[in-house]
Structure 1
Amino acid sequence: MTGPRPTPTIDVHAHLLLPEVEEAVAGHPGHAEARSLDARRNGPAALAVNGPMVGERVPRLTDVAVRLAAMDTQGVDVQLVSPSPSHYHYWADPQLAERVCRLANEGTAAHCAKAPDRLSGLGLVPLQHPGLAVELLDHALEQGLKGVEISSHAPGHELSDPSYEPFWSRAEETGAVLLLHPFGCTLDERLDRWYLSNTVGQPTENAVALSHLIFSGALDRHPDLKVIAAHGGGYLPTHIGRSDHAWWARPDARGCAREPSSYLKRLYFDSLVHDPYVLRELVRAAGADRVLLGSDFPFDMGSDDPLGALRSALLSDHAFHAVRGANAAALLLKD
């Protein structure tokens, strides 16, 4: 793919490990239970692979110089860095949850400050305590971060929960970016073999969470909310026709003002779908201005060559450069 490069190449899906967060939760009631649930959801074979996989990638997850060298190899100019979803700790009580989020926000900001022209960051908020979400979002923004990363749900709270309304309002008011990135799938042991917990679980959780946002009318009430759905939004964008059919056919599916597919053009999606034909369909369904380059750096379920994956979709030059960086630049690099 040739042509002008008016904007930097921007990867909006890249992660960071923060040892200080794990030190803060170690030994607390609930931590062992959460680890046990994670083990049941993933199964022993996945856990045997995950430890060495993450261990080998610790330098890229913690050392800015190593990160920048890897970005250079990939042809990525700028990363939007978010904490590893393993740092959510949605089991934590209010006091510990606030500490976790403040440490994550400050740690991410400090990491990005070592290369401010190439790294921007997202922090965390405690979805399990909706009453703290606005305060911790403000804290993230005060650190110079672009917004926060959230999971697909928290225990007892779907994203359609009315208790999140103040959070959506504050995010919309401030222009904060929200990266929707699931961690763990509630199908639990049904997915505990062959890494189905990730390959099936992650796109399922994306689809469920986005459906809660759409059908609840949250995007009607907050039309300027800036949500980036990781993993291309999971199954929803390519199977949205079933949601549209339900909206027309059933009165109980009329929680939103318009056809569900119309809301795809109010959301953003990363390009990490692992299939050029799916990526083309995502661009068709959401619009070329709503898809952003994403790699899941540096984990093994990501792409080591996000630009190559984008090229393989054979998009038009305009769409290619929009996804490569122009869309993210418009979203993230405004003064």
Structure 2
Amino acid sequence: MSSGGAGVPAVDVHAHLAVPAVNALIADQPGLREQQQIDAAALGPASAALNQAQIAEIGPLLTDLDLRLAAMDRAGVDIQAVSPMPLPHAWADRALAAKIVAATNEGVVTFCDRAPSRLVPVGAVSLQHPDLAMAQLVTAVRELGMRGVQISTAAGPDVELDHPSLAEFWATAEELGAAILIHPWGCSLGSRLGDYYLFNTVGNPTETTLALSRLVFSGLLERHPRLRVWSAHGGGYLPSYVVRADHAWHARGDARTTELPPSALLRRTFVDSLVYTPEQLRHLISVMGAGQVTLGSDYPFDMGVEDPVDRLLAADLDPETISAIRGGNAGRLLGPLPAVHT
């Protein structure tokens, strides 16, 4: 096992926070009840019941600063990028969406301000209202000091991330140098995933794969070469099988939509290291490049890991690659990070 990169602060880019003020805002909303019904159908009764029990158990981990810092210390994580829980609010109308995002971002910033040398904030936007989302992004970065925002894999049921209505949002993100973190919640396959926790194990990576594929094939990453896009869970399935996308790009006119092949454009995005095994991490690095993979734990959820640094070291990589993934790439994604004093 290599010990390379030990002098580089370990930066966990993938960790979540619950903001109770948001729950109070949406508790009585019909849209929330509809979303919960959709989720219940996709989860199935067994997984839905288990999720409820687990949320009760991990609730304190999502809100308590001391518990978070202790977990970071045990994991050898120096800095954590804190993003809100990825629950979708695409059903919210403009007025409510504005309140949800304001409460979310205020909650994340206030929490991170309690430990500014350890935590950096990542916010939210109302992507279903593109002009509002653009203004929220500017506010988050320029006024609140957030490093970027987390979005879902679509802006709504009929609006994909490459939709023309979002063009100005993406242009603004590039101009600001803001990180855009793509994080899924379930999958549009619905009740076909209603057993065995397929809602997450298949649904989440499927949604991420679709979202990234649309960004790649739409040419958005060529139009905005300085855009900082990051995706959770190792980029879903796309890095594992991007060769199929490349084959389509070479073989079919309807897939030859960009100057560069999909694999080259995918390497302009960042992913996290949350792929569990040394073999899978080495493959992810071979596809994405050592400069595009960041440390990720998915704290504090059950599909995450408590030892992201140890898993990085277990992959037996060269010291330069370890340093990059341990923290160097996070600085390129999120901007200057707090100085860590040892």
TM over 0.5: yes
Q: Which runs of 5+ in 2 are unaligned?
A: 338-342
- CA distance in 2: counterparts of 1:297 and 1:261, whole angstroms: 29
- SS of residue in 1 equivalent to 2:122: strand
Shift of 1:315: 1.6
Q: Does 1:208 align with 2:221?
A: no
Aligned residue number for residue 247 of structure 1? 249
Q: TM-score normalized by structure 2? A: 0.95
Shift of 1:331: 2.9
Shift of 1:215: 0.4
Identity %: 50
Shift of 1:160: 1.1
Aligned residue number for residue 181 of structure 2? 179
Q: TM-score normalized by structure 1? A: 0.97
Aligned residue number for residue 47 of structure 1? 48
- SS of residue in 1 equivalent to 2:267: helix
- Per-residue displacement from partner, 1:134-183 (whole Å, max 9, x unpaired)? 01111211211101001111221101101111000110000101111011
Shift of 1:5: 3.0
* Runs of 4+ that moved beyond 6 A: none
Aligned residue number for residue 340 of structure 2? none
Q: CA RMSD in A?
A: 1.2
Q: Which amino acid aligns with 1:294?
A: G
Shift of 1:131: 2.1
Please list, as runs of the form range in 1=range in 2, the aligned pairs for 1:1-335 lying within 5 A after superposition: 1-86=2-87, 88-141=88-141, 142-153=143-154, 154-334=156-336
Q: Which amino acid aligns with 1:263?
A: L
Shift of 1:4: 4.9
Shift of 1:256: 1.9
- CA distance in 1: counterparts of 2:173 and 2:335, whole angstroms: 17
Shift of 1:3: 3.5
Q: Which runs of 5+ in 1 are unaligned?
A: none
- SS of residue in 2 equivalent to 1:12: strand
Shift of 1:30: 1.4
- CA distance in 2: counterparts of 1:111 and 1:7, whole angstroms: 25
- CA distance in 1: counterparts of 2:146 and 2:196, whole angstroms: 36
- SS of residue in 2 equivalent to 1:132: helix
- CA distance in 1: counterparts of 2:9 and 2:66, whole angstroms: 19
Shift of 1:49: 1.0
- Per-residue displacement from partner, 1:210-239 (whole Å, max 9, x unpaired)? 000000011011111101110000110110
Shift of 1:312: 2.3
- 8 A Cα contact 2:72 2:78, kept in partner: yes
- CA distance in 1: counterparts of 2:294 and 2:262, whole angstroms: 21
Alignment length (residue pairs): 334
- Per-residue displacement from partner, 1:262-286 (whole Å, max 9, x unpaired)? 0122100100012221211110111
- Per-residue displacement from partner, 1:286-330 (whole Å, max 9, x unpaired)? 110100000000101100111122122222221112111111123
- 8 A Cα contact 1:181 1:230, kept in partner: yes
- CA distance in 1: counterparts of 2:262 and 2:52, whole angstroms: 39
Structure 1 residues 215 and 105, CA gap change in structure 2 (3 angstroms): same
Q: Which amino acid aligns with 1:302?
A: G
- 8 A Cα contact 2:234 2:275, kept in partner: yes
- 8 A Cα contact 2:297 2:308, kept in partner: yes
Shift of 1:333: 4.1
